[in-house]
């Protein structure tokens, strides 16, 4: 057998002609200064396929510099496709339950934030308390908190963080081998992340299509099909049913509160929003509920989906819900999708008095609808 069989020749994109260093070269330069280190790779509390595939890709790149990576998240994997992705590929990711466990970061030399900028992870607080240096931030969302990383690549021109890592591969940071089972699984995870983040490529940009074309040489279609065919859980279906029952339609917006949810069922909210947006004559869907954590903290968690080209989810959510006392916005978004989390605060915690719990929900439900109603009306009148 040809010893080179299975290895696809890679033609990296041309280097910058204006003398500006490519991002992949900058990342290589930074990583070369951290040999034999251990990096904490921080994912958002509810990691999606884009984040998970980016973390795996970063780890493979770091092996070349003898850097050990530990991928962590503080929430849960609740979306059935994310659970299937991790189980079927063996994708390395650990859950840190900060409510029941104490975590010592002294064994790490630095932190890395992928597909997030620290605002959607509870682990960010630990990183700051430990004064752990931030080695890198790679994300496709709008700029948020400044973590002062040694390497930063934040590009809203890409539809997915997976696209950015594929470009790193193309530019020589890692040569994928179609005969290496791990490389095939990583390529499959990246394809899943890219597809899910761009709504099955329907919202993909040129760079995303080019990345998908490159991955087509390496990924396993049967493995991806197995991940995508994972059935929705009964709890997710219950939340979707509640969203349908409680929805209020106004000016082509569908708004629905689904009441209380367990922390591990939080991913049912965006799935319900994905479902509501498919209704005829609806261009924007917002679904929200009160999510209760294991330590009795509560937050109003919501998701927005839109097909309206003139509606910017990031601007809409920030304008609707504002920010906290420290100036941090309660939510944000990207093209056609967004999310928000608002701490319940003093009123948090379950009560044996069901009437009190119902009253609390009614207050927050009314407040969310009131804030949304103001912008829904303004938006339609401005058109």
Are residues 245 and 195 both part of a single domain? no
The one-digit pLDDT tens for each residue of the chain (383 residues) are 344 444 444 444 444 545 578 999 999 999 999 999 999 999 988 888 899 999 999 999 999 999 999 999 888 776 667 677 777 677 778 888 777 678 889 999 999 999 999 888 889 999 999 999 999 999 998 887 778 999 999 998 899 999 999 999 999 999 999 999 889 999 999 999 998 888 788 888 899 999 999 999 999 988 888 877 765 677 888 888 899 999 999 989 999 999 999 887 888 898 899 889 888 899 999 999 998 876 677 889 999 999 888 888 888 988 998 888 877 788 887 777 888 888 887 777 766 668 888 888 999 999 999 999 888 865 444 44
Q: Are the CB atoms for 339 and 304 separated by under 8 Å?
A: yes
Strands 298-306 and 337-343 turn out to be antiparallel
Tokens at 317, concatenated: 């959510």
φ, ψ for residue 145 (rounded to 5)? -75, 140
Query: DSSP assignment of 124-161, as one string?
Result: HHHHHHTT--EEEEEESSPP-S----SEEEE-TTSS-H
Q: Are residues 163 and 254 in the same domain?
A: no
Domain carrying residue 372: 234-382
For residue 288, the number of C-alpha atoms closer than 13 Å in the C-beta half-sphere is 28
| In 200-294, beta strands by DSSP E | 248-250, 253-262, 284-292
Residues 223 and 155 in one domain: yes
Do 184 and 314 lie in a common domain? no
Domain-embedded: residue 7: no
Task: Give the number of other Cβ atoms within 10 Å of residue 247's Cβ.
Answer: 20
Structural domains of the chain, count: 2
- The rounded distance, in Å, linking the Cα atoms of 130 and 104 is 8
220 and 251 in a single domain? The answer is no
Query: Is residue 3 included in any domain, yes or no?
Result: no
Burial code (b: 16+ CB inside 10 Å, e: under 16) for 323-347 equals eeeeeebbbbbbbbbbbbbbebeee
Q: Report the CATH number that the domain containing residue 242 is assigned in CATH.
A: 3.10.310.30
């Amino acid at each position: 057998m040809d010893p080179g069989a299975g290895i696809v020749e890679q033609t990296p994109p041309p280097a910058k002609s204006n003398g500006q260093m490519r991002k992949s070269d900058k990342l290589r330069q930074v990583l070369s200064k951290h040999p034999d280190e251990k990096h904490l790779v921080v994912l958002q509390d509810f990691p999606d396929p884009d984040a998970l595939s980016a973390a795996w890709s970063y780890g493979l790149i770091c092996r070349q510099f003898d850097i050990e990576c530990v991928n962590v998240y503080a929430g849960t994997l609740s979306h059935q496709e994310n659970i299937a992705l991790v189980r079927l590929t063996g994708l390395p990711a650990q859950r840190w339950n900060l409510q029941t466990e104490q975590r010592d970061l002294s064994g790490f030399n630095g932190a890395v934030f992928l597909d997030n900028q620290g605002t959607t992870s509870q682990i960010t607080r630990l990183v700051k308390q430990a004064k752990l240096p931030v080695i890198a931030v790679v994300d496709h969302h709008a700029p948020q908190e400044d973590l002062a990383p040694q390497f930063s690549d934040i590009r809203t021109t890409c539809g997915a963080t997976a696209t950015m890592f594929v470009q790193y591969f193309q530019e020589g940071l890692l040569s994928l081998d179609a005969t290496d089972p791990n490389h095939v699984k990583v390529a499959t995870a990246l394809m899943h992340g890219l597809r899910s983040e761009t709504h099955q490529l329907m919202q993909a940009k040129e760079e995303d299509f080019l990345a998908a074309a490159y991955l087509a040489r390496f990924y396993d279609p049967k493995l991806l099909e197995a991940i995508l065919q994972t059935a929705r859980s009964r709890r997710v279906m219950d939340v979707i049913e509640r969203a349908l029952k409680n929805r209020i339609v106004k000016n082509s917006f569908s708004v629905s509160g689904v009441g209380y949810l367990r922390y591990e069922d939080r991913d049912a909210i965006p799935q319900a929003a994905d479902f509501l947006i498919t209704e005829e004559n609806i261009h924007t869907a917002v679904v929200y509920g009160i999510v209760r954590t294991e330590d009795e903290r509560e937050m109003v968690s919501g998701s927005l989906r839109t097909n309206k080209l003139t509606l910017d989810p990031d601007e809409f959510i920030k304008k609707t819900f504002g920010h906290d006392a420290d100036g941090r916005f309660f939510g944000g978004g990207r093209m056609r999708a967004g999310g928000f989390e608002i701490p319940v605060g003093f009123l948090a915690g379950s009560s044996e008095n069901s009437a009190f719990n119902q009253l609390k929900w009614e207050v927050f439900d009314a407040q969310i609808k009131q804030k949304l109603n103001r912008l829904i009306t303004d938006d339609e009148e401005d058109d």
